[in-house]
Amino acid sequence: MTMVIAIDGPAASGKSTVARKLAEKLPCTCLNSGILYRALTWQILHSGIDPADQEAITFAVSRMQLELSVPPIGSPALQIDHHVPEFESHDNEMNAAVSKVATVPAVRSCITSLLRGFGKDRDVVMEGRDIGTAVFPDTPYKFYLDASPEIRRQRRAAQGLEDSIENRDRLDSTRSIAPLSIASDAHVIDTSNLTIDGVVDAIFEILTHASRDQQ
């Protein structure tokens, strides 16, 4: 049986770095669902489509061939029409558009299907905003990382990003499909005053205890 470790949380909660380091420690594959949404958003923007035009996005997505590219070395990536888009994942325009594109039902349906297919065949640490609530609600390994808004603003600024944490949170938590929320059985970890290694160790210890309990 494969193991899906779901790590959810808002922007700048530390989940991407934690997921990557946890996957290295286990070891298993790490998949950042946000990268898939960013790749699709890049394609939408590159095609000249308004990220707020849900009808145009739905039509465009219906004509795309989407699949996950899994290289021998490196992270999985979204392949669109046999091509992996090359883009700057922390571009401010991208960050402003991705939450809008991610609210489109057709987009969420496509990405969710890809994520579920990926998690069927391998152990994976999968991170995003709805992994434990919508993509893999049945996995027993759910974690929700959070931090204070001030800490998260500082982290975004350190990355050279100027998008609004409050606006991003509002868009992610109020969308009609798979909004950002905490699964009832998730382990919640406040990363505000923890190092990355401290968070990884805390999750690893919980997973170790869970594995022993199931034996």
pLDDT tens string 8-65: 999 999 999 999 999 999 999 999 999 999 999 999 999 999 999 999 999 999 999 9
Q: What is the pLDDT of residues 123-153, one digit of tens each?
A: 999 999 999 999 999 999 999 999 999 999 9
Q: Which segments within the chain are labelled E, that is strand?
A: 4-8, 29-32, 66-69, 77-80, 124-128, 141-146, 187-190
pTM beyond cutoff 0.95: no
Q: Domains in the chain, ordered, with CATH?
A: 4-214 (3.40.50.300)
Q: Per-residue DSSP letters for 73-85?
A: SS--EEEETTB--
Q: pLDDT tens digit string along 9-19? A: 999 999 999 99
Contact 111, 37 (CB under 8 A): yes
